[in-house]
Amino acid sequence: MRNPDLFSIKEAEYHFADKQEVYNGKVRDVYSIDDKLIMVASDRISAFDHILPRAIPFKGQVLNQIAQHFLNGTKDLVPNWLSYTPDANVSIGVKCEPIRIEMVIRGYLAGHAWRTYKSGERILCGVQMPDGMKEGDKFPEPIITPATKAEEGHDEDISKEEILKQGLVSEDIYILLESYTKSLFKRGSEMAESRGLILVDTKYEFGMYNGQPILIDEIHTPDSSRYYILDGYTERQENGERQMQLSKEFVREWLMANGFQGKEGQSMPEMPDEFVWEISDRYIDLYERLTDNKFERIFDESIKERIENNVRHALTSFGEISPKI
């Protein structure tokens, strides 16, 4: 069995230009160069708010190419930041001023919404949820439950009224964000259904570019979205069974079985090679299921050099960039 560490990127510092700024997220490393944003998807994986010790081969490639698939598939609806993808792990686009709001939209009662509902609350982010629902039920209409985009720590729920009161965006811009969010969710749901999936809930992030909001970051990946398996959904709901979903829940289950839930005093277990490759295979299966494209594994032990060369070439080969509209 090949050593998975040879074919994955966990931590790397890239030098694309003399003047560059970098922000390191849990999964992505984001570089700013003049008016361009370079987003490098690493192979890091997190669970229980901890980055796991070993990276997952091809995970970054999977996430980057899923995001590319859906950004290209929605650009006729909403302008987005992406201009080109010079490498399997890299996206380059326009740099915007981020709007510090996550536009969360929910078509089904799941996750945070379900936990709120189960506690007896019926209002989430100022939105009334109907009585008599159970986990996994479809809302009569998708609901938008925004969250503030925190610099540190966890994002916080916020209502439309509070967003406008705090002046986070103008009313005109917020109305446009709501319209964009609904259009994107409708298209994402249609694309998912064509692949035998249900888009349960997701989030979108926007930034200001030349005075107008455009879609930024990634969309409809398993890092930002929840999917149910369409086949058998109705029967499972009627029988009170849990829905089958596409997620990294199996990673959390393995960690829990090995004594780790992110609590103080617990030691992170070391994942064996075979389990690392199993995670990799599951991400690749997800990519192929979502996009209907065959995934191309790039067994490259010089990933950092490949990325740097491809990005540098792109920066010198392409001129001005603009949002995809």
pLDDT in tens, the chain (325 residues): 689 988 899 988 999 988 899 999 888 999 999 899 999 999 999 888 788 999 999 999 999 999 999 999 999 999 999 999 999 999 999 999 999 999 999 999 998 999 999 999 999 999 999 999 999 999 999 999 999 976 555 579 999 999 999 999 999 999 999 999 999 999 999 999 999 999 999 999 999 999 999 999 999 998 789 999 999 999 999 999 999 988 777 888 899 899 998 888 899 999 999 999 999 998 998 899 999 999 988 887 789 999 999 999 999 887 667 677 6
The H helix count followed by the E strand count for the chain is 8, 17
| Residue 270 DSSP code | P
CA–CA dist 35, 321 (Å, integer): 8
Integer angstrom CA distances of residue 322 from 32, 215, 325: 15, 12, 9
Q: Report d(CA 219, CA 225) in Å as an integer.
A: 8
Burial class (CB in 10 A: 0-12, 13-18, 19+), 165: exposed
Q: How far is CA 131 from CA 118, 123, 137, 143, 145, in A?
A: 11, 11, 11, 15, 17
For the domain 97-238, what is the CATH code? 3.30.470.20
Fold of 15-96+280-317: Phosphorylase Kinase; domain 1 (3.30.200)
Encoding tokens for residue 186? 């409708």
Distance CA 258, CA 256 (A): 5
Identify the bridge partners of residue 205 per DSSP, sorted by sequence position: 102, 216
Domain with CATH 3.30.470.20 in the chain: 97-238
- In 3D space, the residue among 184, 178, 217 whose CA is nearest the CA of residue 199 turns out to be 184
d(CA 197, CA 232): 11
- pLDDT at site 299: 85
- Range(s) within the chain of domains with CATH label 3.30.200.20: 15-96+280-317
